[in-house]
Structure 1
């Protein structure tokens, strides 16, 4: 499983979420950070929304499903974030 974090430089909410995701040890996932300032389509889609988390499910070379996850509270602890992710990774 892979988590995709849409982020932008200088976004404190993005940085905080990234730090917490990197501290999760009891779940196995790959974290991909996508800087929305590097692509116009990402920027127009997420300019006022970051941080945005997606769960990516690789099924094959061409078959990848990405589904948005609810935005965790900036006050959520690493443990609370892990519990939320565990729920979505199980589905």
Structure 2
């Protein structure tokens, strides 16, 4: 599973979510961090929304980024795992 986290330096909510995502014990989880301060379009889109989490899925010949529900800052690693598992399409579940 490939995830994209839109974030920015100094955002404690972003850092907390990133730390928890990195603790998930799924070896197929690939996490890409996108710093919204590096691109004006990302900044304009997400400046008031971060952290924002997307799942990347393959759809025929292209990759599609699909926004996931925003997890609670109080969510545990286990709760994040369950949320991600729930949001997976049936063909990707273990």
Check whether TM > 0.5: yes
SS in 2 for 1:26: coil
Alignment of 1:1-91 (within 5 A): 1-26=1-26, 28-59=28-59, 63-91=62-90
CA distance in 1, matches of 2:22, 2:76: 12
CA RMSD of aligned residues (A): 1.5
Gaps of 5+ in 1: none
Deviation, structure 1 residue 57 = 1.1
| 4+ long deviations beyond 3 Å | none
Gaps of 5+ in 2: none
TM-score normalised by structure 1 residue count: 0.91
Q: 1:27 to 1:87 in 2, by over 3 A?
A: farther
Residue 88 of structure 1, CA deviation: 1.0
- Residues paired across the two proteins, number: 90
